[in-house]
Chains A and B, each alone.
Chain A
């Protein structure tokens, strides 16, 4: 779930970063563009203004100089009209080549100390005739007690005056009212402004804080503005500013719009903040959705987990409901199948265990078979009666040892040696009972003797051999018992030379079905073979189905029973189940 959220977070962040870049770039571009448009607009307005001024100049020129008469009444009227209609014209004046004033409006004497011929506008008019030139801002130095900052339009013109061609200079001084109006009515952010420089030397023509510039209390980086033709970012005093430059073509000025980048950056920050919020909201949604999804997905799985825990705790009577996504249903059904299997196996194990216990009990009970005990004790009594002291001792000893061995401290496995010992005592007792009707022989190699076996496997076979094989013999019986290791098998055999069995009988002895449906009587009545099958089943229960009994029998020849068990050198080894 967390990885899913992380994945979503990653995607959202990538998208956000991409969007942020795109947004901020486009926002910046739009700001740049906006600044450019504003500055262009100002530039067009200024161009218009300059054109208008040039037209006005021509109008004044025509009016004053058309017929070479600049001092008649009509001209004065016209000039009055013009001056009244405009508040950006400071004064109009006409000079001759010597710098003498011919006519001016408003009419005032030029002060003698003015040194007209030394002034720059006079120079440029003299230098190039018939070309209207605009001066840089300067202090008008013509009349007493006025020192106004003006831009001078001047042109040298040859007119015919009183029949003589005369070179005159017409001067029109304009103030900054209109330029200021045009330049200051712009919106370049909160603190942005525009200023004007001349393209020649980068002199400041107009600046909203012109006084500070003039006093040297403020500076503008005009060098870059001079060489640049569009926008550049300048960082002179630690503050980043966007400068947008546009030329005002017809007058040789450049307008520079200055906007503060941190105001643009607020746009960027806004985008940033907005995106952060979007990302956060998306993230919340993603996580909520993933929580819900995972809850939906994991609920069945968690239910499974709970069920499994219950199984762990040992409650096998549970079942997973078949609902939820397909995979979960499949998993549930598998799990249910597995549980079924487990339940079956457990039942089987329970059964097997029950059988084991039963067989052991039976084997034990077979040992304390009262019949056998009764017979044996009868024999003992008889022997006592016959004062066969030695035999009595032997019999009683064997009987006691027999019991001790068969109890074997409650262990199910004992060494082959002990099992053989047990067989020997049993045989000894039976030999005495059957009045030496048979003899026996036990052969076992040392290796085999130290192996372990299920206890009480030989005795029922020996009993079988005696009761079914030898008892009804005419001849002397012989029982031969061996134990040997053959490959990975430990083989013990009980061989008699008794009456033998038909193959059908052999088969019946080992019918597995009998195991479950015939609760074996613990007294081996004649011919039942139950005790023998009990041995076979026990071996199979203990060691598995590979092992067990094998009969070889021939009528009138005898029977050989082979016990096959795994070679076990340790108690507890080689058990398939217990």
Chain B
């Protein structure tokens, strides 16, 4: 067999050069692939949380949850506090100020639909996502929402109150003097249950605002005016006012009170037998999930439905069940 070798002669110098070049590129690529990005290079993203009006403990819980999530996701949470006397106008103002100052995303528990709409319009123009908390409405600019179904919560409350009264009695609803859609939904839910029960009459309720003891006064007038067996208090203020009046009249336990929230004061009153049932939503989860949603939205996820959280019914018997303890009492080391 004959082999023919074609010998291509390259001068040695260029051969060596070629080798060195190849190796250098090899080295360079190996180095560049291993280069690590300094994590501190990028500035931390800011996410703003606008406090709810009448924040109380629910607001604190939301804030705690949001802060926990921000810490976990490596964000800075700018909490925009409100004065206790602030109302929806001030909340909107604070939110627009944050938008002007600049933030990656804005979380807000809006005082009203108007606040959410105005903020949403402005934010979508500025290309800043808004995450609504405790609000199912996903209007323009609102890219995600964490909410409870307030109507279902109201129905639960109505059922509980009817149970406490064993299906017979007069019920008054203590509502807020604010045009709060959440509270209205609760009332609608409760009424839809109660109106079906023949033994239950719904008396004229009362409304109260956020002024100190306003709700107590309202409850007092209500109880002066009507003889009621049960009170459905639609928010924390109302429940505290009702509890105060019931305790003052020493009729605690006789007048059944069902309400919403999980303030420590409410829990104390629940344990003392002045309040009877709490329909509890988890504020911490709301804040936590709100920030998580904000992160996902910023990463390009799209949501067209709100995340609906479950509510729980708590009473004096089950409030210290381990599962409930964990949700009701903030863990402080």
Interface residue from A136, A215, A287 paired with B23 (Cβ < 8 Å): A287
Q: Does A144 contact B (CB under 8 A)?
A: yes
Once the chains bind, are B332 and A148 in contact (CB under 8 Å)?
Answer: yes
A110 to chain B, nearest CB (A): 12
| Distance of A175 Cα from B331 Cα, bound (Å) | 11
Once the chains bind, are A269 and B34 in contact (CB under 8 Å)?
Answer: yes
Name the interface residues of A113-147: CB closer than 8 Å to any CB of B: 113, 136, 138-139, 141, 144-145, 147
Interface size on B, residues (CB 8 A): 39
Interface residue from B30, B285, B333 paired with A180 (Cβ < 8 Å): B333
A544 to chain B, nearest CB (A): 31
Contacts of A136 in B (CB 8 A): 322
Interface residue from B27, B264, B271 paired with A111 (Cβ < 8 Å): B271
Once the chains bind, are A287 and B31 in contact (CB under 8 Å)?
Answer: no
Once the chains bind, are A280 and B27 in contact (CB under 8 Å)?
Answer: yes
Using A148-B332, A175-B333, A287-B19 as known contacts, say yes or no to A215 and B326 having CB atoms under 8 A apart. Answer: yes
Once the chains bind, are A147 and B27 in contact (CB under 8 Å)?
Answer: no
| Distance of A295 Cα from B12 Cα, bound (Å) | 8
Q: Does B102 contact A (CB under 8 A)?
A: no
Once the chains bind, are A139 and B20 in contact (CB under 8 Å)?
Answer: no
| Distance of A177 Cα from B331 Cα, bound (Å) | 12
Once the chains bind, are B26 and A211 in contact (CB under 8 Å)?
Answer: no
B268 to chain A, nearest CB (A): 6
| Distance of A270 Cα from B34 Cα, bound (Å) | 8
Once the chains bind, are A113 and B23 in contact (CB under 8 Å)?
Answer: no
Q: Does A276 contact B (CB under 8 A)?
A: yes
Using A145-B268, A217-B285, A217-B288 as known contacts, say yes or no to A277 and B68 having CB atoms under 8 A apart. Answer: no
Once the chains bind, are A144 and B12 in contact (CB under 8 Å)?
Answer: no
Chain B interface main SS type? helix
Q: Mark A98-112, 1 if CB is under 8 A from B, else 0.
A: 000000000000010
Once the chains bind, are B15 and A138 in contact (CB under 8 Å)?
Answer: no
Once the chains bind, are A210 and B331 in contact (CB under 8 Å)?
Answer: yes
Once the chains bind, are B285 and A215 in contact (CB under 8 Å)?
Answer: yes
Contacts of A287 in B (CB 8 A): 16, 19-20, 23
Name the interface residues of B19-38: CB closer than 8 Å to any CB of A: 19-20, 23, 26-27, 30-31, 34, 36
Q: Does B330 contact A (CB under 8 A)?
A: yes
Contacts of A138 in B (CB 8 A): 320, 322, 325
Q: Does B327 contact A (CB under 8 A)?
A: yes
Once the chains bind, are A280 and B26 in contact (CB under 8 Å)?
Answer: yes
| Distance of A138 Cα from B326 Cα, bound (Å) | 8
Contacts of B282 in A (CB 8 A): 215
A373 to chain B, nearest CB (A): 58
Interface residue from B27, B64, B289, B325 paired with A211 (Cβ < 8 Å): B64
Chain B minimum-CB-distance residue to A140: B329
Once the chains bind, are B27 and A277 in contact (CB under 8 Å)?
Answer: yes
Chain B minimum-CB-distance residue to A292: B16
Q: Does A343 contact B (CB under 8 A)?
A: no
Q: Does B260 contact A (CB under 8 A)?
A: no
Contacts of A145 in B (CB 8 A): 264, 268
Q: Mark B22-59, 1 if CB is under 8 A from A, else 0.
A: 01001100110010100000000000000000000000
Interface residue from A216, A273, A283 paired with B34 (Cβ < 8 Å): A273
A198 to chain B, nearest CB (A): 12
Once the chains bind, are B31 and A273 in contact (CB under 8 Å)?
Answer: yes
Name the interface residues of A285-310: CB closer than 8 Å to any CB of B: 287-288, 291, 295
A138 to chain B, nearest CB (A): 6
Using A287-B19, A291-B16 as known contacts, say yes or no to A147 and B333 having CB atoms under 8 A apart. Answer: no
Q: Does B272 contact A (CB under 8 A)?
A: yes
Count: A-B pairs, CB below 8 Å: 89
Contacts of A139 in B (CB 8 A): 320, 325, 328-329
Q: Does A372 contact B (CB under 8 A)?
A: no
Q: Does A381 contact B (CB under 8 A)?
A: no
Chain B minimum-CB-distance residue to A148: B332
Contacts of A4 in B (CB 8 A): none
Q: Does A441 contact B (CB under 8 A)?
A: no
Using A145-B268, A287-B19, A291-B15 as known contacts, say yes or no to A211 and B30 having CB atoms under 8 A apart. Answer: no
| Distance of A113 Cα from B268 Cα, bound (Å) | 9
Once the chains bind, are A277 and B333 in contact (CB under 8 Å)?
Answer: no
B233 to chain A, nearest CB (A): 20
| Distance of A272 Cα from B72 Cα, bound (Å) | 30
Q: Does A176 contact B (CB under 8 A)?
A: yes
B64 to chain A, nearest CB (A): 7
Contacts of B146 in A (CB 8 A): none
Using A217-B285, A288-B16, A291-B19 as known contacts, say yes or no to A211 and B330 having CB atoms under 8 A apart. Answer: yes
Q: Mark A211-237, 1 if CB is under 8 A from B, else 0.
A: 110111100000000000000000000
Q: Does B216 contact A (CB under 8 A)?
A: no
Once the chains bind, are A211 and B68 in contact (CB under 8 Å)?
Answer: yes
Identify which of A215, A272, A280, A291 gathers the most chain B CB atoms within 10 Å of its CB. Answer: A215
Q: Does A209 contact B (CB under 8 A)?
A: yes
Once the chains bind, are A214 and B268 in contact (CB under 8 Å)?
Answer: no
| Distance of A269 Cα from B327 Cα, bound (Å) | 42
Contacts of B36 in A (CB 8 A): 266
Once the chains bind, are B329 and A147 in contact (CB under 8 Å)?
Answer: yes
Using A144-B268, A280-B26, A288-B16 as known contacts, say yes or no to A211 and B34 having CB atoms under 8 A apart. Answer: no
Using A139-B320, A209-B68, A211-B331 as known contacts, say yes or no to A113 and B20 having CB atoms under 8 A apart. Answer: no
Contacts of A176 in B (CB 8 A): 333
| Distance of A217 Cα from B271 Cα, bound (Å) | 27
Chain B minimum-CB-distance residue to A149: B331
Q: Does A322 contact B (CB under 8 A)?
A: no
6 closest residue pairs by CB, A with B: A214-B326, A273-B34, A176-B333, A276-B30, A147-B329, A113-B271
Contacts A139-B320, A287-B19, A291-B12 known; list 16 others, CB within 8 Å.
Answer: A111-B272, A113-B271, A139-B328, A141-B320, A145-B264, A147-B328, A147-B329, A149-B332, A149-B333, A177-B333, A209-B72, A211-B64, A215-B327, A217-B285, A272-B34, A283-B23
B contact set with A: CB distance below 8 Å: 12, 15-16, 19-20, 23, 26-27, 30-31, 34, 36, 64-65, 68, 72, 264, 267-268, 271-273, 282, 284-285, 288-289, 316, 320, 322, 325-333
A contact set with B: CB distance below 8 Å: 5, 111, 113, 136, 138-139, 141, 144-145, 147-149, 175-177, 180, 209-212, 214-217, 266, 269-270, 272-273, 276-277, 280, 283-284, 287-288, 291, 295
Chain A to chain B contacts (Cβ below 8 Å), 21 pairs: A113-B271, A136-B322, A139-B328, A147-B329, A149-B331, A210-B331, A210-B333, A211-B284, A212-B68, A214-B331, A215-B65, A215-B282, A216-B285, A217-B288, A270-B34, A277-B30, A280-B27, A283-B23, A284-B23, A287-B23, A288-B16
